[in-house]
Structure 1
């Protein structure tokens, strides 16, 4: 990767591990930012089968402090996490072979651990977070045999680190699926370099999933969706003063590191031939990209319909292509 030293220095200066580090530490420890009640999946929005029921149950049992905050903050993000996990499980079962998953910046790695446990070793996962508090939550349910955790920011998980660690060495050959979960927006708007750095860990034909908050073309549209999120959803879990405090402490800084969907599609298109949008909730979208049309089609086909009321969906035509050489 060209300009690696400059990129690493840029990441080291990032808000996530500097001015916002206190927010993430106290929230991950359960000392602040806790919802008034634990979020629960609205199972009516998801398929009615044993696999999804088992997944929802284990995911709920493994949640830590930060997950409770996170899933109470983004409309129907919890349902989407279960929907994504359902798709990954079904994708792994059809492929038959062992599958490796890297979930970067996803707090205590609940989804990754759930997938490893539920698949009984077919899915080996690695989660990472700069916060030792998240690792403590990860280990609160015992040490899982097929799920690992790296305590550190994503840009410090290099191939050299993977190769030098006895537990992480099995991932040195790369991952079949990588999930970036609202991580890049906490560091900088430099999506081209961020994607380039993490894509080094993706196997040929692997799938890179991005879940981020995006700037809207019209600022007033962006703000209206924020009002809907805050007053239509977050108010179910947080007091108004908590919502306002987070805006001041975190969201203004995060906004400066968000990009538009157009900017993201250009950055993704630099590295991947195929990319589709698979989910939208207000200003949040999920994209799936790969250089293998076959693998991407198979993954998308194993996902259930988006589990979210229509009034939160603003991006028309989910599964539409976002690159020139895209999946139809």
Structure 2
């Protein structure tokens, strides 16, 4: 793929695979970054619902060390992952067809695996990570029938790789849903090429979900939200020394590669006609983008209200990131969209 040679080389030099490799390895193996207690979700946010009960019961049984670290690090991320997983399952049932799901940067791929297990063959899921420890955690509970794991970074999973691999070839037709889970911010601020590369795998009617930490135009506001996260939530799971150590070893690299909501808006306009912000926790947001308004609306209709206390939320959700009139016409968009 000559058009992506420079981008792939850029990713190979990124902090995720170099300066931060030891952090991700030791955390994924459980040697470091282990929370004082296992994260648990607050059931008060969810209505009595069979899909939620099944999802929330299975998810803790499939978690690995990195998942427990991650879910203890972002306020109410566990609750949101349960909401997202349930919405995908309900979206699948509403569409009455099999779905292909791809999660990149989701460590052990727990959410994707749980979705595939509960979908009874109607969802084929693929997860990826460059860490062998995450691969081991994924298969620690056996080999799932409808979930797979690619051992490698997201930029090594090219269409040619999928087409030429007997096991991956089931995904050669593309994915109905792609979830980028705090991945791009570990590589670079080059969201245009990151989205352009991954969008090769997205079907024309598909949904692209972005979970990212964004910068703020007011640096003090950004830091205030960070203090709220660290002292109001993370302190339940990590010591003050652990929180400081992560800030020194990881967050400084990550912060350099974050972008603002304004920047992501300007980038997404070139790829998608519709982008909706559906979740916010301090500096973290979840965006859902698509070129199919009907599919996007169907997915949104399957979401519970955001399961998070109001004091962590800094936006009226959900809201459209940009008007449809501001989207770049399909014929003028960059990138190999189908």
TM-score, length-scaled by structure 2:
0.95
Aligned to 1:127: 127
| Distance in 1 separating the partners of 2:47 and 2:298 | 18
Deviations, residues 155-206 of structure 1 (Å, cap 9, x unaligned): 0000111011111101011000000000000000000110000001000110
Cα deviation for residue 318 of structure 1 reads 1.4
**What pairs up with 1:53-68 in 2 under 5 angstroms?**
53-68=53-68
- Tell me whether 1:321 sits opposite 2:328 in the alignment: no
Aligned 1:65-84 pairs, distance under 5 A: 65-84=65-84
- Displaced runs of 4+ in structure 1, greater than 3 A? none
Partner of 2:269: 269
Contact 1:275–1:326 (8 Å) recurs in 2: no
- Structure 2 Cα separation of the partners of residues 111 and 282 of structure 1: 22
Q: Does 1:284 align with 2:291?
A: no
Local SS of the residue matching 2:233: helix
Render the CA deviation track for 1:215-266: whole Å, top value 9, x for unaligned: 0110000000000000000000000000000000000110000000010011
Deviates more, 1:317-326 or 1:265-274: 317-326
1:7-43 superposed Cα distances (whole Å, 9 cap, x missing partner): 1111011000001000000000000000000001111
> Do the aligned residues in 2 keep the contact of 1:279 with 1:287 (CA within 8 Å)?
yes
Q: Hey, what's the Cα distance between the residues in 2 that align with 1:243 and 1:48?
A: 35
Contact 1:274–1:326, Cα closer than 8 Å, also in 2:
no
Q: 1:223 — aligned with what? A: 223
Matches within 5 A, 1:122-271: 122-271=122-271
Q: CA deviation at 1:3?
A: 3.9
Distance 1:258 1:46 in 2: 31
Q: How far apart are residue 2 of structure 1 and its match?
A: 7.5
Change in CA separation of 1:167 and 1:23 when aligned onto 2, cut-off 3 Å: same
SS of corresponding position for 1:107: coil
Native 8 Å contact 1:85 1:111 kept in 2: yes
Secondary structure, counterpart of 1:200 in structure 2: helix
- Of residues 158-167 and 18-27 in structure 1, the stretch that sits farther from structure 2 once superposed is 158-167
Q: Distance in 1 between matches of 2:79 and 2:223?
A: 24
Aligned to 2:295: 295
- 1:326, CA displacement in angstroms? 7.3
Gaps of 5+ in 2: 327-338
Backbone CA RMSD of aligned residues: 1.1
Provide the C-alpha distance between the structure 1 equivalents of 2:255 and 2:158, rounded to a whole number of angstroms. 27
CA distance in 1, matches of 2:155, 2:185: 14
| Deviation digits for residues 57-105 of structure 1 (CA, Å, limit 9, x no counterpart) | 0011100000000000000000000000011000000101000000001
Q: 1:326 to 1:97 in 2, by over 3 A?
A: farther
CA distance in 2, matches of 1:325, 1:271: 12
Distance in 1, Cα, partners of 2:268 & 2:240: 37
1:305 — aligned with what? Answer: 305
SS class of match (2:126): strand
Give aligned pairs, total.
326
Give yes or no for the alignment of 1:12 onto 2:12. Answer: yes
Distance (Å, rounded) in 1 between the aligned partners of 2:274 and 2:218: 27
**1:276 and 1:326 in contact (8 A); partners too:** no
Distance 1:3 1:191 in 2: 16
- How far did 1:324 drift? 2.9
Q: CA deviation at 1:276?
A: 0.4
Output one character per residue of 1:112-170: Cα deviation in whole Å (capped at 9) or x when no partner.
00000001111110000010100100000000010000000000000111011111101
Give the stretch that moved more between structures: 286-295 or 161-170. Answer: 161-170
Per the normalisation by structure 1, the TM-score is 0.98
Following the alignment from structure 2 to structure 1, what is the Cα–Cα distance between the partners of residues 47 and 10?
A: 43
